[in-house]
Amino acid sequence: MALRLSPHMTVMTNAVHRAAKRLLRDFNEVEQLQVSVKGPSDFVSQADLRAEAILREDLTKARPGYAFLMEESGHSGSENWAWRWVIDPLDGTTNFLHGIPHWAISIGLERRLQDGASELAAGLVYAPVSDEMFWAEKGAGAFVNERRLRVSARRELKDSVLATGIPFAAVAGHRRLAFARTLGSLMPHVAGIRRFGSAALDLAWTSAGRYDGYWELGLKPWDMAAGLLLVREAGGYATDPEGGDPRPSGDVVAANPHLHARLRQVVADGQQAAR
């Protein structure tokens, strides 16, 4: 029996499926795409822009009063928004442009609270190549397609596989140093560390228990909005290294409840050593 999606999730999945068709076509003809460079090792392609335009069109049509925060076009809509879409139309662009089939579309939905802060109300990460739709709504659990997700149950770092993002050329020096210190501290004590090149999928895979934990510094809101909610709704923790909301800083530590505190401390120590 198919799961019954909420109105918000129905809108999100419909938009994502249409954008994914265009992305898959571009991925199969990737050598013909026009590509520009935003910064060192930071690319934007026709595929990103076309997918973003499709998502904006479909979501605006379905929810005309909602604001947007999008990777390529930035903020649009009212500054006093009550609801806002936070979108990465193609997370893993470098993978995409190299023909590596590990990339995704990420949509988070934020709701403004009475005190002016915001909370993540819904999130979706779709990997078109594998046809895996990771999705969650606040208080309703996390799923991949129609299967309920739970974070892993491993209790020891020595048994754990972690994911991260290795800093590239555009990343500030202090963040590169903090990463190196953290990596050096963790490597002797874990079963493995992976770097696959998509923060949205790293968080989604942590929610699915494929990774036991994940950390990365300096993410953008669209990289993590959906993934943070996925991890939390799957029973894990997703915070900054100090235990707070990672959205202001972009510094994320996500893991199951048994490993989160230890991973968070190692990342915080790495940051401290880099200052």
Residues 201-216: b if buried by 16+ CB within 10 A, e if exposed: bbbbbbbbbebbbbbb
Q: What is the Cα 75 distance to its own chain's centre? A: 18
Q: How far apart are CA 190 and CA 170, in angstroms?
A: 28
Judge contact between 212 and 259, C-beta under 8 A.
Answer: yes
Q: Which pLDDT tens digit goes with each residue over 246-273? A: 999 999 999 999 999 999 999 999 999 9
Report H helices in 129-259.
173-186, 199-207, 221-233
DSSP 8-state secondary structure symbol assigned to residue 259: T
Residue 41 in this model has a pLDDT that exceeds 50:
no
pLDDT at 104 over 70: yes
Domains defined along the chain, listed by start: 7-148 (3.30.540.10), 157-273 (3.40.190.80)
For 30, list phi and psi in degrees, rounded to 5.
-60, -30
The label of the residue with tokens 């893993």 reads 92
Answering whether pTM is above 0.85, one says: yes
Task: Output the pLDDT for position 274.
Answer: 87
Average pLDDT over residues 149-161: 98
Average pLDDT over residues 54-80: 95
pLDDT at 275 over 80: yes
